[in-house]
Amino acid sequence: MTFLLTVRRLLVFALLSCASGTIAAGEAPEATAAEASGSFRDIPFLDKAFIDAAPADKNDGIPVGKLGADGGNKKSIIQLAKKIAGSQHESIDSLLIAHNGKLLFESYYLRGRVDLPHPQASATKTYTGMALGRAIQMGYLTMADLDKPLVSFLQDLDPARFVDGAELITLHTALTMTTGIRLTSEQWEEFDRDPSQIQGQQHVQAILEQSEPITAESQTFLYGTGPGLVMQVLEAVVPGKVEDFIKHELLDKLGIDNYHWQTAPNGLPEAGWRTSMTSRNMLKWGMLAAGKGQWKGEQLIPEAFINRAASRLLTTGDDDVYGGGRDVSRQGYGYYWWSADLKHGDNSYFSTSAQGGGGQYIILIEELDLIIVVTAHANDNTTLQMTAEQIVPAFLSETAQLQPGVTG
């Protein structure tokens, strides 16, 4: 059976390769030792894209299936992959699609490698938020704690030196980027120039001494303020070091061992950027969220937390939608998850996504039971528009018919 499956997959790739000289057959591309140890920006581009409509089972905890036979319009997705391979979406390094809990499509381009952790940028914020959810599930915090003053969890501070209104900052406002903290870019940079002054909770002390006063009017959405505060609370409430907590209680549970998570100047794990994950491991984060916090039968994160995190708690406006286009609207924000409506025909589909600068996405469309993972290395992307225009219709009932055989 294994031999026949291998032959079938080779025949599929042979046919695809005849249609496009930019598509490779065989196993998914892996990083060399030199590539794995060097800078991501030095990774050479693949000579040929790798496109697989029947992803291999790598025994990594991700169920797999076949595009077409298990859902989706195979021809449409293959055509999209060929466009990407032909540089019409020139910065994309990988595209993975899961449907009904199975990985049905896996592809790598340019700097994409199946085993190479890809820089995540601000998608890291989503992982930090999920770690807070794990702490709630384990009883170190409660859902009610989300609305308590954030400084009440930090015992090494001097409240007498805080600016007015510091008590208005809660875990909820930190998770929604509505802390009200207002510092100049020069002030933020100064913190990093002398890390000895911001170790541990002294970082929070410095922020709450130097910010403009916190008011109800200032507590509006301002991207960037919040993740570091959440990491500080995690460090304060979980036993041991927070990096060990994240590893043992979340990453190990998900079977994620091939990753990088850098340390911030304050000595804690970076909370808002500077992690790297493989595309398949990004999919695991998406599966955890799509499963309402459950993984392999174990509730890792409370369903109530996931429901909040992945919802549209506030609307951020459509003036500058990252990865957007004409069919993407009503941009919003939850707990480090972005949201938007994706329009196709007369219908709109609610999407929620982890997003990282350079083009990292974990996109969930619950109505269609879709998880889409994209990695890239350029900010001028239209990934949400691509999803609305080319991926969503491939999984609608009128087009996602069972398609035996090769249709690419």
**pLDDT tens-digit map of 253-274:** 999 999 999 999 999 999 999 9
Count of other CB atoms within 10 angstroms of residue 314 = 15
| Residues 336/325, Cβ–Cβ less than 8 Å | no
| 123-261 matches 2-116+278-395 in CATH topology | yes
**pLDDT tens-digit map of 142-175:** 999 999 999 999 999 999 999 999 999 999 999 9
2-116+278-395 placed in CATH 3.40.710: yes
| Spans of all domains in the chain | 2-116+278-395, 123-261
Cα–Cα distance between 329 and 174 in angstroms, integer? 24
> Residue 152's pLDDT is what?
98
> Residue 25's pLDDT is what?
63
Where do we find the tokens 């972005």? Answer: 338
Q: Which residues of the chain have pLDDT under 70?
A: 1-22, 24-25, 88-90, 398-408
Task: Tell me which fold the domain 123-261 belongs to.
Answer: Beta-lactamase (3.40.710)
> Residue 87's pLDDT is what?
79
